[in-house]
Amino acid sequence: METLLGHDRTISSALFEEAKKIFPGGVNSPVRAFKSVLGPPIFIKKGDGCHIWDEDDHQYIDFCCSWGPLILGHNNAHIRESIYAAVAEGTSFGAPTRLEIELGRLIVDNHRYIEKLRFVSSGTEAVMSALRLARGATGKSKVIKFEGCYHGHVDSLLVKAGSGLVTFGESTSAGIPEAFAKETIVLPLNDREKLEETLEQEGHNIACIIVEPIPANNGLLLQDPSFLECLRIKAYKHNVLLIFDEVISGFRVGFEGAAGYYGIKPDILTFGKIIGGGMPVGAYGASAELMGHIAPDGPVYQAGTLSGNPVAMAAGYAALKQLLAPGFYETLNAKTAGFVKALQDFADAKGYPVSFPSVGSIFWVAFARERIIAAEQIDPASMNHFKIMHLELLKRGIYMGPSGYEVGFVSSAHIDADLAQAVEAFKEALDIVFS
Ligand SMILES: *Cc1c(COP(=O)(O)O)cnc(C)c1O
């Protein structure tokens, strides 16, 4: 089977068989199981710069970058040395450390919309805590989320639109009580009328609107900034808090994430991924007044044994410090724009129905010509094209996340020669997809 693919996965396959005996589906996070692409998952043994190597000794240019955290590429020397230095002093104390202040200060001083923050250990935890803060601060319980936005595996947010006039959510996972899903109202992106109607009817029960300002977990559903502005205005009008879930976009499209990129002030921001420099860190931040609701200052309880972990803080600080270097984002974003343009020019010249929406250093391969801004526009059948492309790219030394609904990331470690090599591989893969 491994050789039928034309891509040798002998060792990865054997490891996968072992892993299946220990973990559900052989993995510790579902998408890693390669269910949406061809063949068994490849097991990674190391990474350096923009490259990763699998257990069967293939080398790839990596556009998954650990699903976003590695904006500086793998094994960044400065992050590595900072981690070593922190580890040498001990790995966890469950007590305050100087390192938390350093990372926290760096963020507060360089992000216009954050006065105070709290560190947690994942994006999911950040979102969960932000919802509790919104509910605690407003005394209201319902939440508006948007179809096509992902906010981690928080119970009340693993929901899709149900039927009915005001669409209360239906859970998308077993194990979530209907009562939790009912606390969430799911709306389509970019539908201002539905939003206004819902707020008119239910605003007195709604604590917050949560949105990925750059929805990047269900394709890349780039919104008009005017829609985000509309969320801001309507949230003020109806006394509802606005949460920007910036777990992907934070520190990615600029140091101030999407909020800074669009110049829109959310009430609460959530972070993960890049903030930990490759270690498990999340955070949520807001005005000092709102954060005053959090324990021990206020009545909203939230805690974590490993929160602000010194090794993770050292990694995050070493990463974010590099992002503040003058021109960092300009260079990275321009490089990505050039890469995406080369791909689009090729597809257009060949007349292939594929487009490459992008923002900052995030890009998506959409097997459609029209601009896609809402989840329901994505044709599930187009994922067959992705499947073929994914395998052909692996054969040519290019690693993309194993699902056509996932975006790709360019890091500062991808140099022009790597991107040029990747463009050639994409061209060959697309020729096969459309042959
Ligand atoms: C990845 C992601 C999360 C979840 O973060 P985890 O660290 O995987 O728990 C939440 N929201 C968004 C927008 C994300 O991209």
Instruction: Map out the domains of the chain as residue ranges.
Output: 2-74+327-433, 77-323
Q: In what order do the strands lie in the sheet with 241-245?
A: 116-120, 282-286, 268-271, 241-245, 206-211, 142-146, 184-187
**Phi, psi dihedral angles at 291 (to 5 degrees):** -65, -15
Cα 151 to averaged position of ligand 1 atoms, centre (Å) = 6
Of the CATH numbers 3.30.750.24, 3.40.640.10, 3.40.50.720, 2.30.40.10, which one belongs to the domain with range 77-323?
Answer: 3.40.640.10
Which tens digits make up the pLDDT trace of 12-70? 999 999 999 999 999 999 999 999 999 999 999 999 999 999 999 999 999 999 999 99
User: Kind of pairing, strands 206-211 and 142-146?
Assistant: parallel
Catalytic positions, written as ranges = 150, 245, 273
**For 351-415, where are the alpha helices, taking DSSP H only?**
383-395
Confidence at residue 377, expressed as pLDDT on a 0 to 100 scale: 95
Measured from the Cβ of residue 330, the count of other Cβ atoms closer than 10 Å reads: 10
Alpha carbon distances (Å) from 319 to 72, 126, 314, 342, 384: 7, 19, 9, 29, 37
Protein residue whose Cα sits closest to atom 11 of ligand 1: 151
Banded pLDDT at 168 (limits 50, 70, 90): confident
Side chain identity at residue 24, one-letter code:
P
Q: What is the rounded distance in angstroms from the CA atom of residue 381 to the CA atom of residue 422?
A: 25
Closest atom of ligand 1 to CA, residue 212: 13
pLDDT above 80 for 217: yes
Closest atom of ligand 1 to CA, residue 127: 10
Which tens digits make up the pLDDT trace of 394-419? 999 999 999 999 999 999 999 999 99
pLDDT above 70 for 167: no
Which residues lie with the beta carbon below 6 Å from any ligand 1 atom? 122-124, 127, 150-152, 212, 217, 245, 247-248, 272, 282
Q: What is the rounded distance in angstroms from the CA atom of residue 246 to the CA atom of residue 360?
A: 14
Closest atom of ligand 1 to CA, residue 124: 9
Sign of CA dihedral 297, 300, 305, 311: negative
E-assigned strand segments in 173-247: 184-187, 206-211, 241-245
pTM above 0.95, yes or no: yes
Cα 154 to averaged position of ligand 1 atoms, centre (Å) = 10
Domain 2-74+327-433, second-level architecture: Alpha-Beta Complex (3.90)
Banded pLDDT at 160 (limits 50, 70, 90): confident
What average pLDDT does the segment 99-116 reach? 98
pLDDT above 80 for 363: yes
Alpha carbon distances (Å) from 242 to 140, 245, 404, 431: 13, 10, 29, 44
Cis ω for the linkage preceding 266 (within 30 of 0)? no
Q: What is the rounded distance in angstroms from the CA atom of residue 149 to the CA atom of residue 221?
A: 9
